[in-house]
Chains A and B, each alone.
Chain A
Amino acid sequence: MDASLLFVEDDRSIRDVTRLELEQAGFRVTACGDGREALELFAREHFDLVLLDVMLPGVDGLEVCREIRRGHRTPIIMLTARSSTVDVVVGLELGADDYVCKPFQPAELVARVRAVLRRGQAIDATAVISVGDLLIDEAAFRATRGGEELDLTATEFRLLCVLAHRPGHVFTREMLLDLVWGYEFLGDSRLVNVAVQRLRAKVEEDPARPALITTVRGVGYRLNKP
């Protein structure tokens, strides 16, 4: 794997040692120490994934995340302090694909990066799934509803694919964490909740009264057949 990462972290020691770890894992890493520089780099080059510290001097990580999401679906992993669960949720709601708590084990970070990158790959690259007026072309990484193009992040796209592969089937959050995020156990169920909310905001006609992706109380989620 030769994916390119943008690693934004203001602490020099963390930046250097983590960069080393990521490079040993086979990634090309571009590192920088503040948000403004990160945005400039992002505008200039192509990256497969962005690792983003929340606490940054100048433009903070959440702001950078918001900026990137304005026009790009590049996967984002937030690096955050464990104590501030608010940051976690805000980051996810802004469109981050995942988060890692500091202090993290380097191996965990590498595993997360791999999992998120895998998400961008199709489950079944030959399939074109159609459920009602929903059309998903996995190979082309495109989804439309009623002819209208849906602007989905990698996680949202993967989530939609997993749900659409088996319409009417109820997926528990544990299953979704496994199938979408690639976490076999102990994933954070907030990941699923926020991702479903964001997906609904883009797919549903009335996100406040979801009709396509519905909640099965106490169990999980389901994509309804028309």
Chain B
Amino acid sequence: MSDFGITTKDVGEGIVVIKSAKLLDNNNAHEMVQAINAVQGRGIKFIIIDMTDLQFISSAGVGSILGTVESSREMGGDIVLAGPSETVIHVFRVLDLLDYLTIKGSEQEALAFCGAHNKV
């Protein structure tokens, strides 16, 4: 995978995983928005953004998530950030976003969260 490539995977039960590449910055933040919007447009309520490979997130990358999370929540779902590193978490912490975002330590935890909430 390139440093900027973003891929989307349906995992069933109304959950989609969008995998971020190493970098989420001005080069590809628009692709993340497009990927999220495309999934939301299909009526998918729960999106997991797999951040396990993400090494750097810029303000544009943060904005790509913040600008779309509310739409998922209005649908009764959420955008769940899976496996972000401490580096990425620190950026969210500086922006006082840890209380606003749903963050799980791994894709498995994120899937469990989505699955549990999808049944409600």
- Do the two chains belong together in a single complex? no
